[in-house]
């Protein structure tokens, strides 16, 4: 059971997602038997420090469990990627998206109705600890993930796909042919994720297939600013040196 002592938990990061957009670029159609869009509609994402461990709370339009799945919900597959500094893996697993260049992730948290795991990008995060184990709880319309990871300053990508028990990985694969039994879209090589955590519209992401990380400061997210600041500093040093440097007397 996930500890939810609110008084002991400190919010590290929180962001809202627009309501009513779990349809990819707007043209995805859910299968008729699993067409409850509210259960796929991510509304808020919150990261908390709960007793030194990182806890993630994802609130949806509705959470229901008609399949009696052990994690307490039946439709969404949740992928959360955690970054820490520059570098890391840039392909966001099998969601169909990637990160911005040199803005990769170090941990991948995947939660389905039946499973939960944390994988560490061992190529770039060998100095970071493994998860001590993932625990899931449902509270109202929120799915709460005790990641087992140390709480800290992470960047985030969060995506929601549709669970399909008939696929090898449990994720519904969109297809172009109209069918009331399948997830359908006309996009070429479509992402599996229907919902991307983003405070503004996600539609453009389905064209670029690139997602910027959330929870970065201006200095961290804009490398051009480093160049601009360095240029200003260099200009100041040059000016000061020109004013006070010893003059050549010969």
pLDDT in tens, 69-97: 999 999 999 999 999 988 899 999 999 99
Place of tokens 């694969």: 173
Mean pLDDT, to the nearest integer, of 222-240?
Answer: 48
- Rounded to 5°, angle at Cα 45 from 210 and 128: 70
DSSP 129: P
Query: So where are the chain's domains?
Result: 6-214
Estimate the share of the chain in helix, then strand, then coil, as percent rounded to the nearest 5: 15, 30, 50
Residue 240 has pLDDT above 60, yes or no: no
Residue 250 has pLDDT above 60, yes or no: no
Mean pLDDT, to the nearest integer, of 233-241?
Answer: 50
pLDDT in tens, 5-62: 545 799 999 999 999 999 999 999 999 999 999 999 999 999 999 999 999 999 999 9
Mean pLDDT, to the nearest integer, of 210-220?
Answer: 77
Tell me the pLDDT band of 227, cut-offs 50, 70 and 90. very low
Q: What is the pLDDT of residue 225?
A: 45
53-60 sheet: strands from edge to edge: 9-16, 42-50, 53-60, 142-150, 135-139
Identify the helix (H) or strand (E) that includes residue 145.
strand 142-150
Question: What's the number of CA atoms in the CB half-sphere (13 Å) around residue 162?
Answer: 26
The share of the chain scoring above pLDDT 70, in percent, equals 82
The share of the chain scoring above pLDDT 90, in percent, equals 75
Q: What is the pLDDT of residue 124?
A: 63
- Rounded to 5°, angle at Cα 11 from 7 and 13: 170
Q: What is the pTM of this model?
A: 0.84
Q: What is the pLDDT of residue 66?
A: 96
Mean pLDDT, to the nearest integer, of 186-194?
Answer: 97
- Which residues are CB-neighbours of 111 under 8 A, at least 6 positions away? 71, 77, 78, 80, 117, 134, 136, 143, 145
- Which residues are CB-neighbours of 155 under 8 A, at least 6 positions away? 82, 83, 84, 103, 105, 213, 214, 215, 216, 220
Identify the helix (H) or strand (E) that includes residue 207.
helix 205-208
Q: For residue 134, what are its two tokens?
A: 């993932």
Identify the helix (H) or strand (E) that includes residue 109.
strand 107-111
Radius of gyration of the chain from its Cα atoms, rounded to whole angstroms: 22
Least confident of 51-65, 94-108, 223-237: 223-237
Q: What is the pLDDT of residue 85?
A: 86
In CATH terms, the fold of domain 6-214 is Immunoglobulin-like (2.60.40)
- Which residues are CB-neighbours of 44 under 8 A, at least 6 positions away? 14, 15, 16, 17, 57, 58, 59
Furthest CA-CA distance within the chain: 91
C-alpha span between 206 and 195 (Å, rounded): 10
């Amino acid at each position: 059971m996930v500890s939810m002592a609110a008084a002991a938990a400190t919010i590290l990061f929180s962001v809202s997602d627009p309501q009513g957009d779990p349809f990819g670029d707007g043209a995805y159609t859910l299968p008729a038997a699993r067409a409850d869009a509210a259960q796929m509609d991510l509304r808020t994402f919150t990261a908390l420090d709960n007793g030194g461990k990182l806890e993630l709370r994802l609130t949806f339009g509705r959470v229901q469990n008609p399949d009696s799945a052990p994690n307490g919900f039946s439709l969404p597959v949740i992928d959360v990627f955690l970054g820490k500094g520059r570098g890391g893996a840039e392909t966001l697993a099998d969601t169909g998206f990637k990160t911005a260049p040199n803005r990769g992730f170090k941990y991948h948290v995947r939660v389905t109705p039946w499973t939960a795991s944390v994988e560490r990008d061992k190529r770039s995060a060998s100095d970071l600890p493994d998860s001590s184990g993932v625990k899931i709880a449902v509270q109202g319309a929120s799915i709460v993930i005790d990641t087992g990871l140390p709480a800290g300053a992470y960047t985030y990508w969060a995506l929601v796909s549709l669970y399909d028990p008939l696929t090898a990985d449990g994720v519904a694969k969109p297809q172009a042919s109209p069918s009331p039994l399948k997830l359908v879209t006309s996009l070429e090589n479509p992402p599996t994720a229907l919902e991307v955590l983003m405070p503004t519209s996600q539609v453009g992401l389905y064209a670029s297939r690139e997602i910027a990380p959330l929870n970065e400061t201006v200095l961290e997210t804009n490398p051009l600013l480093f160049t601009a600041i360095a240029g200003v500093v260099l200009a100041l040093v040059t000016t000061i040196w020109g004013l006070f440097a010893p003059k050549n007397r010969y």
